[in-house]
Amino acid sequence: LPGGMEKIKQHTFALAHYTYTVLSTLKYANGAPVVRIYSDTDFSSPDVQGPIINFNVLDENGAVIGFSQVDKMASLYNIHVRTGCFCNTGACQMHLDISNEDVKRNLQAGHVCGDDVDLVDGCPTGSVRISFGYMSSFEDAQTFLKFIIATRLSKLDTEIPSQSSAAKLMTESVPDYYPSFNKVDNLSPVPHISNRELRSNSATNSTGNWEPPQAETESIRAAVSETAVPTCRRGGKPITVTSIYLYPIKSCSAFEVTEWPVGNQGLLYDRNWMIVNQNGVCLTQKQEPRLCLVYPSIDLKQNVMVIRAEGMDPVSVSLEENTGKETVISESKVCSHRVKTYDCGDGIAGWFSMFLGRPSRLIRQSSDMKNRSHQKHTKGPGSAANVSLSLVNEAQYLLINTASILQLKEYISARLEEPLEIEELIRRFRANIVISAPESFEEEEWAEISIGALRFQVVGPCSRCQIICINQQSGERNKEVLQSLSAARGKKTNFGIYLMNQPLHSSLPHVLSVGSQVLPVLKENTEIHPPTPSEEKCSG
């Protein structure tokens, strides 16, 4: 860009002005706008408006779709956005109409800076921002607009402008002082995008739609609506544990067991190790999908972890913690949490570097940091706060319900040419505990559960990211799973619940076993009452 800062200003503002103009025209079939743009200007002059657009996405009824939801969907299209209040609380309060009392209420609801609590009682706590720089191109602006159209609009939702009107819109939306944009022949119109184009832009032959047609969406939401779950279904099918998985190495493949010891951090050795790059930054399947092809297994008798991968010789790592004087304790990060770790040596580092094709090292959590505690707000007696965590993101355990998986599977399979197998879906959600309950999504109504002698507090729902789009057997990505989950659940991508250990009141061995009965207590209850002999087969 010859011409210095003035030319850069014109270039970036032209991109923002064009995107702003097209965004402003997008409407649903009922005439409702697709986005709400927050701005103090009309994008007419770069002297008073920078090359950014701040907005929230709306549904067809005008309700705001949370910024964390938009962020997750954008990541499927390789688009990076900034979300939240952008370190500008005053502007956030002004444009979102948030009062001082609302700020206090949001804080009480657990919302803090940088989290994904994007809606409180349906009201937004922040917004989405896109920014253009000197390296941004017209194709970047088109990619973003295609993303909004693909995920919010179907061909039945709105009349997309014709190619000629789109070209006219594009040229009219570009300031006169940027002549290179006034060559209509050089522009590829954005608003008219066929379903075939959307499919070709996707990793699979999915439709690319964020939500299905309205009637289909309503039927799905009705099927998974939150309803009161009876404390005990007399004569009903009991709830049992069907599968147990641990993930010794964070973001690597699951290790399935039929029974397993429970420690003070959750399942013994669950996420005790993780892989980092040459800068010590944790690698996950988001950056390196092939991590799912690394298969660690724990041999308690031999006291080793054996790691396998296709084309590689198996390698072993001792379960004994290295506490020698030569051990160097370093500080790493898991999400926003700081953890103390130590390196597992050059041998295993070479193994991972060769398999992943990039410099990588295996590190393990140090016992010096075994008191890393859960920081979320919890309520009620026996709060799970200050419970020790391993290298997990949120909580000690993640539980999913097979009935909920089946509900989602039916919907996803209808949108794919080749239906997903139930086992593949279960593995995509990377749970520790899989249960079989009679009703889909009833687990979201629970406050606590007991499994044998073990008692757990429900910390909250698990908000899903793009990792569920990765086939855990092949490492291939598929946008459809997250998009279908978003469509089925409304404005959130919650699936599964987080659990924390409750104090144990039993002398029985602390072991979690497949086949054990699950006894839940609802959110409005405070205690778990053991079933009487006549209620032994109740689901709890």
- Please report the pLDDT score of residue 452 as a whole number: 84
- Please report the pLDDT score of residue 183 as a whole number: 37
The DSSP bridge partners found for residue 450 are: 455, 519
- Please report the pLDDT score of residue 508 as a whole number: 57
Closest CA to 442 of 400, 397, 501: 400
- Please report the pLDDT score of residue 1 as a whole number: 61
Alpha-helix residue ranges (DSSP H) falling in 360-460: 402-415, 422-428
Query: How far from the centroid of its chain's Cα atoms is residue 240's Cα?
Result: 27
379-397 pLDDT, tens digit each: 443 444 456 777 777 789 9
Q: Does domain 5-155 have CATH number 3.30.70.3420?
A: no
d(CA 125, CA 536): 46
- Please report the pLDDT score of residue 506 as a whole number: 55
Task: Write down the domain spans for the chain.
Answer: 5-155, 267-365, 390-522
d(CA 425, CA 411): 12
The CA-atom distances, in angstroms, between 378 and each of 166, 386, 460 are 51, 10, 9
Q: Considering the candidates 87, 92, 232, 538, report the single residue annotated as catalytic.
A: 87
What b-and-e string marks burial along 411-446, b requiring 16 or more CB atoms within 10 Å of the CB?
A: bbbebbeeebeeeebbbbbbbbbbbbbebbbbbbbb
Which two three-digit tokens encode residue 66? 């949370």
Alpha-helix residue ranges (DSSP H) falling in 446-517: 480-489
- Please report the pLDDT score of residue 383 as a whole number: 45
- Please report the pLDDT score of residue 295 as a whole number: 96
The DSSP bridge partners found for residue 451 are: 454, 518
Asked about 87 being catalytic, the answer comes back as yes
Average pLDDT of adjacent 10-residue blocks, the chain of 540 residues: 84 94 91 93 91 94 90 88 90 91 85 82 91 92 91 56 43 47 37 34 34 39 36 62 96 95 90 90 90 95 95 94 65 66 92 95 78 45 57 87 91 77 92 94 92 90 89 87 82 88 66 92 56 35
